[in-house]
Amino acid sequence: MPLYVYAITEESHPVRLEGLTGVGGSGTRLRAVRGDSLCAVVSEAPEELSAGRAEVEAHHAVQERLASDGVTLPLGFGFVAADEDAVRAVLEQGAEQFRKRLEELTDRVEFNVKGLQEEEAVLRQVVDESERVRQLNEATREGGGTYEERLELGQLVAQEVQARQDALAGSVLSALRPHAYAENLSEPSQQYFVNVSFLVDRDRADAFAKAAEELAKSQAEGVELRVRGPLPPYSFA
């Protein structure tokens, strides 16, 4: 029977699952598959697994309950094993690595920070601060100017926008790194100028949250920081 796997924990973890429903909807029973020193929390895998809102919320609800009771290695959404024997084999084969990672994550939580900047706001900033951009903008207004001027304007604006977003990302990282044990930095995207997860000692979580809140409030118009946490250490498992 295929099993949906949520997390790996130490055998001593209480694995308190009462009141929770697994991925797959009402009636999906959660249980532990135990190895020699580790266990995995599983449920019967649904015949058709889709990353719908209800399924993702059920997945995270299980992981958050487990994390509230002790250290875990939360798995990403959609991890399915063939059966209990396959789960036990993974626990046995990866036991040393899993125990080492569990030790590193003990008494630590994750915070995720994403930074967004409104396109119009950053473009206004570029025009206000760059004399050359203003000149080219005037020259090419309403379809005017040469091809070379339009090309230079596009390239210069892109460079200026990137430079400002890099500086913003750097300021976020510099402000929050002192409060964290480790970080997992994703590549910037068109949507986020910074997307970073921090691993934070549990007893420093309040200090991290306060620093992140103050940093978010200090941002210029058009810049938004979204902070989520404390969370199970998804990005470090």
The pLDDT of residue 62 is above 90: yes
C-alpha–C-alpha distance, residues 5 and 24, integer Å: 12
Q: Where are the domains of the chain?
A: 3-106, 109-236
Share of the chain above pLDDT 90, in %: 61
pLDDT at 139: 65
pLDDT at 220: 85
Q: What is the pLDDT of residues 126-182, one digit of tens each?
A: 777 777 777 776 767 766 677 777 787 677 777 877 888 898 899 999 999 999 999
Residue type at 54 in one-letter notation? A
C-alpha–C-alpha distance, residues 190 and 165, integer Å: 11
Residues 6+ apart with CB under 8 A from 136: 145, 149, 150, 152, 153, 156
pLDDT at 18: 92
Q: For every residue of the chain, which 3-state class applies, written as one string?
A: CCEEEEEEEECCCCCCCCCCCCCCCCCCCEEEEECCCEEEEEEECCCCCCCCHHHHHHHHHHHHHHHHHCCEEECCCCCEECCHHHHHHHHHHCHHHHHHHHHHHCCEEEEEEEEEECHHHHHHHHHHHCHHHHHHHHHCHHHCCCHHHHHHHHHHHHHHHHHHHHHHHHHHHHHHHHHCCEEEECCCCCCCCEEEEEEEEHHHHHHHHHHHHHHHHCCCCCEEEEEEEEECCHHHC
Tokens of 191: 């949507």
Q: Cis check for the bond before 188: say yes or no (omega within 30 of 0).
A: no
Q: What is the pLDDT of residues 99-109, one digit of tens each?
A: 999 999 999 99
